[in-house]
Amino acid sequence: MVDFPKLADNMIVVCFGTESWVRDHDKLTEIGIATFDLRDMRTFKSPGMHGDSLLKQVYFYHARIEENAHVINIKYCPGDLDSNCFGQTRFANSSDATKMLESIFKWSFDAEYPELGFCPVIVMGHALSGDLAMLSRTLGVHAAVFDTVVSIIDTQQLCRETCSWTYHNLANLQKLVSEANFHYRDTHTACNDAAMTLICAVHMVLPSELKTNASGNSTDGGPRTRQDVVDEIEEASQYQDWSWGTASAAVDEPMFLATQIRPHAVPSASKAPNHRKAARGHATKNCIFSAMRGPEVEGEEDSVDRVTNRMSAMSFDY
């Protein structure tokens, strides 16, 4: 007979987020994980002010997908992949990233008795369906990886259930962070997003006596604020080591800078007919001007005539 209370005491919470290249969503660029083991909570009776004691048990993983480490979003969903705030960043190829996910979702109930199986897992995220679809499409992560999952919590739904968000529209993550009175730094970086999601979720379910509405950092002698707790967790997480992948990777030149058109090299209107052959070498996907415009440039390639005429009309005389 299944001992459900004992299973609940051994629950694992996994909060994660993903990022991809906006011009090709089949290029997964990052996975961010924030996870903790409820068994680590047995040493204290309260989650602490602003969830301080609980959040100190969270472990953070930031994995950049090595094959796509050279692609960067610069207009839509821009994020600085080198500005991850929580945990340490490592580079993993797609195969290692899949194995990492499998290990995170399959924690042994008791390492000395593997026949007991794995701990039940609660999966958490913000607009989680998109992240799950991303892992399935890009890494081929199949249902067996998630067969330990017993519950899914999406903060877009949780904020309504806890009355933390009462507006008609769906809450985006940045709005939830603002409602919780702490700073959201370096958005659209997968591990930062996972950390912000988990911190917001903890804030939503804490009893009122364990949180204040003060914003910013505390003043001398004043009570600790949520921002104080977030800053401390962020700093401590920088010393969390993990072993999948490598600490660095040979990253190619960013794709959006692969071909830069130098102004003085663009033909003037009078010389355009002599440069039609050169225009055939124009690759929209590698063009800096195209990248700055964002994903709307995807689709049918411009004809040679249209590219040439458009370039001819541009004046680069100084």
Give the model confidence (pLDDT) of 17-54 as tens digits.
999 888 888 899 999 999 999 888 888 888 999 999 99
Q: Which residues of 229-262 are buried (b: 16+ CB within 10 A; e: fewer)?
A: bbeebbeebeeeeeebbeeebeeeeebbeebeee
- The separation between the first and the last C-alpha atoms of the chain, rounded to the nearest angstrom, is 83
Helix, strand, or coil (residue 246): strand
- Out of 136-140, 143-147, 204-208, pick the least confident: 143-147
According to the model, what pLDDT value does residue 243 have?
A: 87
pTM: 0.76
Helix, strand, or coil (residue 112): coil
Q: Tell whether the model's pLDDT for residue 159 goes beyond 50.
A: yes
Distances (CA, A) of 198 to 12, 35, 239: 13, 9, 19
Q: Which residues pair with 93 in a beta bridge?
A: none
- Chain segment 192-207, per-residue pLDDT in tens: 999 999 999 999 999 9
Q: Tell whether the model's pLDDT for residue 247 goes beyond 60.
A: yes
- Chain segment 49-82, per-residue pLDDT in tens: 999 999 999 999 999 999 988 887 776 676 677 7
Half-sphere exposure of 256 (CA within 13 A, CB side): 20
Query: Kindly report the CA angle at 284 between 279 and 286, in degrees rounded to 5?
Result: 105
Tokens describing residue 184:
């959201």
CA-CA distance, 20 to 141, in Å (whole number)? Answer: 16
Pair type for strands 121-125 and 149-154: parallel
What Rg, from alpha-carbon coordinates, does the chain have? 24
- Average pLDDT for 260-277: 41
According to the model, what pLDDT value does residue 3 have?
A: 65
Q: Tell whether the model's pLDDT for residue 316 goes beyond 80.
A: no
Question: CB atoms < 10 A from the CB of 22, how many?
Answer: 20
Average pLDDT, the chain: 79
Structural domains of the chain ordered from first start: 4-238 (3.30.420.10)
Residue 194 parent element (H or E)? helix 190-205
